[in-house]
Amino acid sequence: MAITTLVFIFILMGGSGVNYLGQNDYVNYKIDYETASNQGLMDSKEIGYMLLLKFGNILNLDFFTFRLIILGICLIVIYFGVIKRYSYNSNYILLAYMLYPMIIDSEQFRNFIALTILLYGIRFLGSYKIKNKIKFLLTIIIASSIHVSFALYIVLLLVDLKNKKILVKGIALSALIFALIVFLNNNQIPFISSIQNLIGVDKFTSYTDKKTEYGFLIPFTLHTFNFLLALWAKNIIYNKVNSNITTYEQLNALQKERTGQSDISFINMIFYVNIIGFLFFPLFMTSLHFYRIVRNLMLLNFISYSIVSSYLKKDSALKLLFNLCILTSILMWLFLDLFITTSPERLIYQFFNRNYFLN
């Protein structure tokens, strides 16, 4: 059934954008693709993405076909390289993904490619080995060559700090100081022009040109909810595995043998990934565009939730409550992002009503 669900997701994502009315990301990506052959490889700092576009042009593919192929590859990598690696219930994750992230990922094509690379590279975190840190760093470099904003995920290496108390205190203090600086500078980053000059990417301005008043509270609230769920998941699995119940101990040990990382280790890592996510809070104050930085972490949370759900007794009140809270969190993201922050006519209505494969 999971493969069927994956194919359905591919159909929905592949058919999005083509027939949308008004200005949309699909049109912009299509223009970039069709003009790529006239641009030099070094004209863009996102060399990886430019290479992909040029390769598609060399194969003489139209943008629709090119996008379908890339989307298919990304979904396969995410499913077999990430979801199947850690989860006991793939459908749990895929269904959660369909409720909200799928709609956004179908629109943000370049971000989705870079996200696929980042998610695959998560396997290199949590081992404390230098070679794995280098592998993760290379993952970030490759992802950044597709979408420059993914360079920010270099901070996820902080997950490997052994003293977690210092990590938490450092993140809290850094986020507070950074937020105060941004607030005192009228919700702007004082050195943003220097960053733009250093990066040399004009598109970077699109992430900083939309100032916010109190809109930053939306992504902050949503991420806080994710963090609380990650904390709950961490507490549940610690209690289960340490409860001396043989079944849970064996399940945890088998997962470690299969992936090199136990369930406890993985969920603990995702918990600290969510803590690190608070470092991006000051960026929300400058522009709501930065919300995608924490939204991109949702699939990792889904995997964590699915593992914990598998440890809970079937039909138990705790399992029902846990999954109900997860559903609430996803629906909050859906509503606040695609109905409040974004006009529903702009994306979510067209995703279903003007989908190429559904209409």
Q: What is the mean pLDDT of residues 217-232?
A: 92
Q: In Å, what is the CA distance from 251 to each residue of 6, 88, 171?
A: 26, 10, 33
Q: Summarize pLDDT for 168-182 with one digit per residue, the tens.
A: 888 888 888 877 877
CB 112 within 8 A of CB 101: no
Confidence class for position 254, pLDDT limits 50, 70, 90? low
Q: What pLDDT is attached to residue 243?
A: 66
Q: In Å, what is the CA distance from 44 to each residue of 146, 201, 238?
A: 10, 7, 47
CB 142 within 8 A of CB 115: no
Q: What pLDDT is attached to residue 246?
A: 54
Confidence class for position 291, pLDDT limits 50, 70, 90? confident
Q: What pLDDT is attached to residue 214?
A: 60
- The widest CA-to-CA distance across the chain, in whole angstroms, is 64
- Report the C-alpha gap between 162 and 157 in whole angstroms: 11
| In the predicted structure, residue 216 carries a pLDDT above the cut 70 | yes
Confidence class for position 256, pLDDT limits 50, 70, 90? low
Q: Summarize pLDDT for 130-143 with one digit per residue, the tens.
A: 999 999 999 999 99
Q: Summarize pLDDT for 52-98 with one digit per residue, the tens.
A: 999 999 999 999 999 999 999 999 999 999 999 998 899 999 999 99
CB 302 within 8 A of CB 119: no
| In the predicted structure, residue 197 carries a pLDDT above the cut 60 | no
Q: What pLDDT is attached to residue 177?
A: 85
User: Can you say how many angstroms the Cα of residue 91 is from the centroid of all Cα atoms in its chain?
Assistant: 18
